Structure 1
Amino acid sequence: MGVCLVIKRIPQDKLDDLLKNPKKMSAFVGMSYEKEPPKSWLDKLLVNVGLKKTAPVEVYQQEEWMKEAEETCMDFDKMWHVFHFLLAGTDDDTRRPQSSLLTERAIGDIDVGYGPARYLDSEEVKAFNEYVSKLDFQYLISGCDYEKMKALDIYFVGAFDPEDDSELEWLEEFFDEFKAFLSEAAAQRQAFVIEYCRCKIIYPLRFL
């Protein structure tokens, strides 16, 4: 089981709505409904033995803008931490806007795979774009400290070979796609919803 990262672009007013009504994240990620947890030890016992069912509470239907966000998302697969390191030179969210990809700001507490979804508001997306738009991929790779990546235990670093031309070609194409994705989001004053999802198969980048 691996960890993938997906970014979805949404209008700022939709992010504001999700922050005010975080249970809507269930519809945003395609869950049908939330269930009310058992309130007492007896309720828990009855649920566990199948004599009582938890009741659905607020039900949210997936709206059209949610579907559009799904269709236009950017999937980093399991290379998100390697990609983050190339942008920020760190393993965490300690430098802004360089480390924006690993923002810790969460939307509610609904688990979307590995914890709740994170977000960047439209101003943060704008700042992130201003930083990334000035970057050159070859410059990033030339300054890549592979030993530091291993020392920091960057996720999935074992599948990344900075001397493999085929991997670098793929990564450069992905970098260009991300720059375009980010630029369009900034131009439209969109926000980001960032999800850590479950991946069943782990494979080396060279097999992508």
Structure 2
Amino acid sequence: MSMIGQYACVTPAEFDRALGDPEWALKLVIGRMEAEAGQPAEPAAARCLDVDKAWDALGFLLRRAAFPVDIVHGEGDIPAAEDWGYGPPRYLTAERVRVAAEVLAGISGADLTAGVGPEDLAEAEVYPSIVWERGESLDYVREHYDALRPFFRAAADRGEAVLVWLG
């Protein structure tokens, strides 16, 4: 089974409820994911987004760029949350989403991956390591990064928090 990086935007009221009722949050997110599965939305209009298996490469590249927000793993724990796949969900507050969106706007996918090759990801044992060991292109990572930028911009513009998890 693969580990997939997942995101869900939540309104301030939904965020408050999610912190106190993670089971309700999971049902909310599953409902949104199912609704969007039939009609995939552009990242700016999506309420949920996944970055497939690119999450660890994104984390590696963002750390390398000294990105100020952990958009890959989230920054806060949802109290008493059960496992949503590969651990419990985490979150970014609306304020941290705004900071992330502002910084993301200034870093293109090409900028993020400049000077980095698959051999660097293989050496760092970035998941899924077999992909990088084969020398696969970073285009896959750039595509997912380029989807995160409008997703975070739209969430920030709506004043929303973002739930983050590996599913």
TM-score, scaled relative to structure 2: 0.77
CA apart distance, 1:162:
10
Alpha-carbon contact 1:115-1:196 (below 8 Å) kept:
yes
Distance 2:155 2:163 in 1: 12
Task: Sort the Cα spacing of 1:96 and 1:142 in 2 relative to 1 into closer, same or farther, 3 A.
Answer: closer
Moved more, 152-161 or 174-183: 152-161
Residue of structure 2 in register with 1:158 after alignment:
130
Task: Sort the Cα spacing of 1:70 and 1:106 in 2 relative to 1 into closer, same or farther, 3 A.
Answer: farther
RMSD over aligned Cα, in angstroms? 2.8
1:38-187 to structure 2, matched below 5 A, reads 67=32, 71=36, 72=46, 73-89=48-64, 97-107=68-78, 108-144=80-116, 146-160=118-132, 167-187=137-157
Identity of aligned residues (%): 25
CA apart distance, 1:140:
2.0
Task: Sort the Cα spacing of 1:79 and 1:133 in 2 relative to 1 into closer, same or farther, 3 A.
Answer: same
Question: SS state of the match for residue 176, structure 1?
Answer: helix
CA apart distance, 1:192:
0.5
Structure 2: give runs of 5+ residues left out of the alignment: 37-45
TM-score, scaled relative to structure 1: 0.63
Distance 1:128 1:150 in 2: 27
CA apart distance, 1:69:
9.1
CA apart distance, 1:115:
1.3
Question: SS state of the match for residue 7, structure 2?
Answer: strand
Distance 2:144 2:94 in 1: 22
Distance 1:124 1:174 in 2: 20
Residue of structure 1 in register with 2:25 after alignment:
25
CA apart distance, 1:24:
1.9
Residue of structure 2 in register with 1:16 after alignment:
16
Task: Sort the Cα spacing of 1:148 and 1:24 in 2 relative to 1 into closer, same or farther, 3 A.
Answer: same
Task: Sort the Cα spacing of 1:9 and 1:161 in 2 relative to 1 into closer, same or farther, 3 A.
Answer: farther
Distance 2:73 2:161 in 1: 15
Over residues 35-79 of structure 1, what are the superposed CA-to-partner deviations in whole Å (9 max), with x where a residue is unaligned? xxxxxxxxxxxxxxxxxxxxxxxxxxxxxxx53796231111111
- Would you say how many aligned residue pairs link Structure 1 and Structure 2? 156
CA apart distance, 1:17:
1.1
CA apart distance, 1:29:
4.6
CA apart distance, 1:178:
1.6
Letter in 2 for 1:101: V
Distance 1:120 1:86 in 2: 19
Question: SS state of the match for residue 109, structure 1?
Answer: coil
Task: Sort the Cα spacing of 1:11 and 1:170 in 2 relative to 1 into closer, same or farther, 3 A.
Answer: same
Distance 2:67 2:131 in 1: 27
